[in-house]
Amino acid sequence: MNRQQLKGVVFLCFGIITLQFTACKDEQKTSEVKQFKVTFKKEGELQLRKAITDSLLTALDIEIADNAYETQTGLMYRKSMKDNCAMLFIFPNVEPRSFYMKNTEIPLDIIYISEEKSIVNIQKNAIPMDETSLPSEAPAKYVLEVNAGLSDTWNLEKGDKIEFTKN
C-alpha cells in the first residue's frame, strides 16, 4: 500500500468512527420517557363492622402493603380507585403512625387501626399531593386507605372493627 492509499484508509476509518459516535449521541437525545400505570391487585378481602351491633357496614377488596417498599409507596401515582377497593397497610409492630399524601393523586380517608382491629381514628379527606403529617391518635398496627368521603358514607366511627383475609 502506498502513502496515498494509506491516507485514504485512515481518512475513511476516521469518518466511520465519527459517524458512529454522532449516531449514538443522537439516539440518546431522542429516547422517550416511559410512563407506567399502577393498577389495583386484589390480595384479600376486608369487612368493616359496627362495634356495638357487629353489623356489616361494607366489604372491600384489598391490596396489601406489608413490606418496606409497599408501605412507603402505598397508593402513590394512581389516578383512581374503585369505591369497593382499599389498601391495607400491615406493620410488624404497634406504634403511633403518621401518613402524608406525597405523590398521591386521589383524595383519601386514612383509617388507623389497633392491633385488636379496632379503629383508633380517621383522618378524613386527605388532600392529594399534600405533605402535611396526618397522625394517628393512638398506636396502630394497621392503616386502611379508602376513597375520601367513604368513611362518612358508611358512618364509620372510632371503635368500629375490621376483619380481613389474605388470598
Residue type, 102: K
Return the sign of the alpha-carbon dihedral for residues 77, 83, 85, 87.
Answer: positive
More confident residue, 144 or 25: 144
- Cβ–Cβ under 8 Å, residues 98 and 110: no
Distance CA 139, CA 116 (A): 11
| Helix %, strand %, coil % of the chain (to 5) | 20, 35, 40
For residue 54, the model assigns a pLDDT of: 96
How confident is the model over 4-48, as pLDDT tens digits?
Answer: 554 544 444 444 444 454 444 444 544 555 566 788 999 999 999
The mean pLDDT of 126-132, rounded to a whole number, is 97
Q: How far is CA 95 from CA 25, 126, 143, 146, in A?
A: 52, 21, 12, 21
pLDDT band at 92 (very low <50, low <70, confident <90, very high): very high
Q: What is the pLDDT of residues 48-76, one digit of tens each?
A: 999 999 999 999 999 999 999 999 999 99
Could you give the count of Cα atoms lying within 13 Å of 152 in the half-sphere of its Cβ? 8
94-126 tens-digit pLDDT: 999 999 999 999 999 999 999 999 999 999 999
Q: What is the mean pLDDT of residues 140-157?
A: 98
- pLDDT for 37 equals 76
Which distant-in-sequence residues (6+ apart) come within 8 Å of 91 by Cβ?
Answer: 66, 71, 97, 140, 141, 142, 143
Q: How confident is the model at residue 157 (pLDDT cuts 50, 70, 90)?
A: very high
**CATH architecture, domain defined by 44-166:** Sandwich (2.60)
Of 162, 127, 132, 129, nearest to 148 (Cα)? 127
Give the integer Cα–Cα distance in Å for 7 and 2. 9
